[in-house]
Amino acid sequence: MNQNQNQTGKQGDLRPTKMAGWKQSAAVRWLLMLMFVLLFYFSLSSHLVPETYDIQEGAVSEKDIKAPFQIKDEKATRQAEEDAAEKVDVIYSIVPLRNEVLIDQIFVRIEQLNLDDQVTLQNKIDIYRNEIPGRYSEYIDSFVKLNKGRGTYNDTLLEEMSLVAKEQQYTIPEETFYKMPNLKAETLTEMRNVARDIVRKLTGEQLREAETARTQVAELVNASSLSSRTSREIVQELARFVVMPNKFLDKAATDEAKVQAKQNTPPVVIKEGELIVKRGQTITPDLYKLLVDSSLLQDKKNYWPQLGLLMMSLMFIVVLYAFLHQSGSINGIKPKYNNASLLMLWLIFLINIVTIQIISLTQTDAAPYAGYLAPAALGTMLITLLLDMHLAMISSIIFAVMGSIILNTGQQQLFDFKFGFVIIVVSFAAIFSIHRASQRSTILKAGIMVSLFGSLSVLTILLLSEQLDRGPFIYSVAFAFASGLITAVLVIGLMPFFEITFGILSALKLVELSNPNHPLLRKLLTETPGTYHHSVMVGNLSEAAAEAIGADGLLCRVGSFYHDIGKTKRPNYFIENQSNIENPHDTIDPKLSKSIIVAHARDGVDMLKGHNIPKPIRDIAEQHHGTTSLKFFYYKAIKQAEEQGLEPALTEDEFRYPGPKAQSKEAAVVGIADCVEAAVRSLRNPTVEHVEAMINKIIKSRLDDNQYNECDLTLKELDKIAQSLKESVVGIFHSRIEYPEDVKTKERVE
């Protein structure tokens, strides 16, 4: 009792400062945590960590070596990239040089020079011979200089253009220069217009070779408006001179296209499960390098997958430990999950994972749907029934992740979330179907719900992925349905093992023990009917009170049925069984009476052990009186001593129950309900006020006597227990209890 931890009873505070035994040992707890990590690691290692081989280059392989996962073949990939690059066509780019500008410049120069009378005819010829051919290279160089660095053309292309264009420069015949000085301005204007049109027309097409266009110049000149033979000859030669190629090899663009082709080439892979090395095959340098790169050799082993798997296993146990830690008691003295519970949880995980592993062995690439047969909800149902619904929810998430790894038959991913989704659905369907189970048949009903929801989830996946092939479709749904039935059968078969091995008192077991045909209850009814009726009433009271504070109401009810089973050994010494007989305590020594009365708790525990009744019920039978005193016999002994003229050499401690005090809320609640029921039954004309005062008095008396020091009841919970007991007593004994209005009416009548 939190508020009285510093108080001590007359026998002293019996609560241990440190809970002893392996069930509460910190070392054992950490060992169990390590066992969980090892379970997770080794369950998944064969699926996530590739097998390694001891083999040398040049040796002959003694076994087939298959790819444990999809492996990229670097050599084949490089060859495929080179082949793709070789298939790329050479790229040519168009560089429009605007050759009509050059022809205009040449005609302007001729016109200027011809109008200059200071220059002799021979000098003009020499100038034309020296200047006009040079203008070709100058024009190209100026174009390169103007466009270099501007981004319109890459530098490599400009260099290629300059080189090719200069290589294809046309040589003007010598006689043409002798004809130029005699040209008049009007003639030059007409010639320039014709030449510009011809050049523009010829360079408007893509030209890799200028000579191709130059062959067309004569025809175009002859078809022009020029009538003078000299004019036609000069225009023809100048047009041929000005025409340049405009389509050039773009090496940079070609190289970029080859790079893109390499990048767009899909890697050559060896799929998961495909043979890398056949048995008897010699390990060539290329094969050896492939094995090294794939971390399949023992001396070149890659430890990253092991580290990743270890981290995943640690994450799983951190999630479990965090939940278990948060689910402990408020003051941390008595955790809800002791080491026995952790060991049972580990066994459940082991069984569930093993069943999934077994089903995974039946899967093939052609029939991956066999994985839907795995009874993945088995562990979830067992945890819900034997431990806790919320722990089952946390565990179901871990089962889903592990199942999506173990049942994965994919080639390119670690998880197959189709199976993970199905496991989550069936697990939660199982939890909500079975968490209030009260009969074994409920397990079968829950199995049917698992079948239905499993089939529905598989159907959903198939429709979303459009996998509607008749055979796989029917098998997938059928396997999912069969999984639920298999789960129910396995749960029914495993429940007794866990209940007996770990002394678990499940709701199903409690309901079985509450059957009136149980030998002990039948004995209680036939030999001590008064005690039987009292036990049933205590069960009704304690169940409601326990549920009011969040304790196990069903355990309180069934525990109440058995709490006084020890009275069957000496039934006539207990008042509820003394109908039409004298009370034997009237004629015996108070100490003997006390010994007989307190013995019923110990006798009850012995009888319960003889019938293999689980420990939680035995604890209630042993602890429901705690170390309370039998004040009636204590005062009777004092009175007898005084009547005999003797000094009473007695202490109240001699007339106390041996205990132990209540160690759980359930034992404390049954003890209070036991005392309240007996007290109410002794009232002749009870009223609501009397009942409420009596309940408060009983609780306060036990509180002052330090009876709740060793359980985790709080004052707030005691108030809830008192309120629940008052409501239950009024409901059960309503025909005997007088309400305030009835009392006032009775007083007026009198």
Instruction: Note whether 331 and 272 are same-domain residues.
Output: no
pLDDT value at residue 632: 85
Q: Are residues 420 and 553 in the same domain?
A: no
| Pairing outcome for strands 71-72 and 247-249 | unpaired
Give the integer Cα–Cα distance in Å for 558 and 619.
12
Of the two residues 683 and 203, the one the predictor is more confident about is 203
Is residue 484 one of the residues assigned to a domain? Answer: yes
Asked if residue 18 is part of any domain, the answer here is: yes
Average pLDDT over residues 595-599: 90
Helix (H, G, I), strand (E, B), or coil: what is residue 11?
coil
pLDDT in the model for residue 743: 38
259 residue type, one letter: V
Do residues 384 and 349 both lie within one domain?
Answer: yes
The confidence score (pLDDT) of residue 733 equals: 65
Query: Where among 504, 534, 563 does a domain terminate?
Result: 504
Residue 457's domain is classified under what CATH number? 1.10.1760.20
pLDDT tens-digit series, residues 473-513 = 899 999 999 999 999 999 999 998 998 888 777 777 888 88
Which residue is associated with the tokens 């008595």? 334
pLDDT-derived band at 622, boundaries 50, 70, 90: very high
Percent of the chain as helix, strand, coil, to the nearest 5:
65, 5, 30
430-453 pLDDT, tens digit per residue, is: 999 987 666 777 888 999 999 999
For residues 30-52, give the mean pLDDT.
87
Taking alpha carbons only, the member of 598, 663, 604 closest to residue 629 is 598
Mean pLDDT to the nearest integer, 384-392: 90
At residue 163, does pLDDT exceed 70? yes
Residue 641 and residue 478: Cα distance in Å, rounded? Answer: 83
Q: Is the peptide bond before 660 cis (omega within 30 degrees of 0)?
A: yes
* Residue 603 one-letter amino acid: D
Asked, for residue 296, whether it belongs to a domain, the answer is: yes
Contact in structure between 268 and 77 (CB atoms under 8 Å): yes
Same structural domain, 155 and 167:
yes
What is the structure's pLDDT at 564?
92
**What is the rounded distance in angstroms from the CA atom of residue 413 to the CA atom of residue 445?**
36
Tell me the chain's radius of gyration from C-alpha atoms.
51
Q: Do the beta carbons of residue 667 and residue 712 sit within 8 Å? A: no
- Is the CB of residue 347 less than 8 Å from the CB of residue 386? no
604 and 724 belong to one structural domain? yes
In a domain, 509, yes or no: no
In a domain, 338, yes or no: yes
Cα-based distances in Å from 699 to 352, 474, 582, 663, 690: 46, 64, 31, 16, 14
* pLDDT above 90 (res 637): no
Does 111 share its domain with 171?
A: yes
Asked which of 175-184, 276-285, 522-531 is least confident by mean pLDDT, the reply is 276-285
121 pLDDT above the threshold of 80? yes
Residue 323, class by beta-carbon neighbours within 10 Å (0-12 exposed, 13-18 middle, 19+ buried)?
middle
Tell whether the model's pLDDT for residue 119 goes beyond 50: yes
The rounded distance, in Å, linking the Cα atoms of 67 and 685 is 87
Q: Are strands 65-66 and 275-277 parallel, antiparallel or unpaired?
A: antiparallel
Q: What is the pLDDT of residue 11?
A: 33
Cα 213 to Cα 73, 88, 203, 218, 244: the distances in Å are 51, 29, 8, 10, 9
pLDDT above 80 (res 213): yes
> Which of 472, 504, 536 is the last residue before a domain boundary?
504
pLDDT score of 561:
94
β 71-72/65-66 pair status: unpaired
The secondary structure element, H or E, covering residue 291 is helix 285-293
The reported pTM is 0.62
In a domain, 512, yes or no: no
- Give the DSSP H/E element, type plus range, for residue 567: none
Q: What is the CATH number of the domain that holds 728?
A: 1.10.3210
Mean pLDDT of 698-725: 92
CA–chain centroid gap for 102, Å, is 75
Percent of the chain at pLDDT > 70 equals: 90
- For residue 25, what pLDDT is reported? 86
Sign of the CA dihedral with 740 first, then 744, 749, and 750 last: positive
Query: Does 262 have pLDDT greater than 70?
Result: yes
Query: Within this chain, do residues 273 and 309 fall inside the same structural domain, yes or no?
Result: no
* Residue 4: band (very low, low, confident or very high) from pLDDT cuts 50, 70, 90: very low
**Overall average pLDDT of the 534-540 stretch:** 93
Helix axes 665-682, 529-548, angle to 10 degrees: 130
Pair type for strands 71-72 and 275-277: unpaired
Q: Are residues 558 and 647 in the same domain?
A: yes
Per the structure block, which two tokens stand in for 63? 């076994």
333 pLDDT exceeds 70?
A: no
d(CA 352, CA 71): 32
If pLDDT is split at 50, 70 and 90, which confidence band does 368 have?
confident
Number of domains in the chain: 4
Average confidence (pLDDT) over 199-203: 89
pLDDT for position 69: 63
Whether 624 is covered by a domain: the verdict is yes
Q: Is 628 left (phi over 0), alpha (psi -120 to 50) or beta?
A: beta
Q: Do 214 and 361 share a domain, yes or no?
A: no
Q: Which helix (H) or strand (E) holds 71?
A: strand 71-72
Question: E-assigned strands of 590-690?
Answer: none
Mean pLDDT of 283-287: 78
Tell the residue number behind the tokens 């253009």, with chain if given. 161
295 or 196: which carries more pLDDT confidence? 196
- Range of 183's domain? 92-249
Per-residue pLDDT at 295:
66
**Angle 654-659-663 from CA coordinates, rounded to 5°:** 150
Asked if residue 624 and residue 525 are part of one domain, the reply reads yes
CA distances from 188 to 130, 219, 229, 230, 563 (A): 20, 20, 13, 11, 132
Contacts of 547 (CB under 8 A, 6+ apart): 553, 724
Least confident of 109-123, 368-382, 665-679: 109-123
Q: Give the residue, 552 or 505, on which the prediction is more confident.
A: 552
Do 221 and 235 touch, CB atoms closer than 8 A? yes
pLDDT digits (tens, 9 = 90+) for 337-363: 788 889 999 999 999 999 999 999 888
248 phi and psi angles, rounded to 5 deg:
-130, 155
Asked if 201 contacts 220 with a C-beta cutoff of 8 angstroms, the reply is yes
Q: Considering 504, 535, 561, which residue would you say is the last residue of a domain?
A: 504
Residue 476 belongs to a domain: yes
State yes or no: pLDDT of 302 exceeds 70: no
* Domain match, 23 and 34 both: yes
Q: Angle CA(385)–CA(386)–CA(390) in degrees, nearest 5?
A: 70
Question: CA 289, CA 286: separation in Å to the nearest integer?
Answer: 5
Q: What is the mean pLDDT of the chain?
A: 84
The torsion angles phi and psi of 413, rounded to 5 degrees, stand at -140, 155
Where helices occur in 72-226 by DSSP H, the ranges are 74-86, 99-114, 121-147, 155-167, 174-179, 185-203, 210-214, 217-222
**464 & 603 share domain:** no
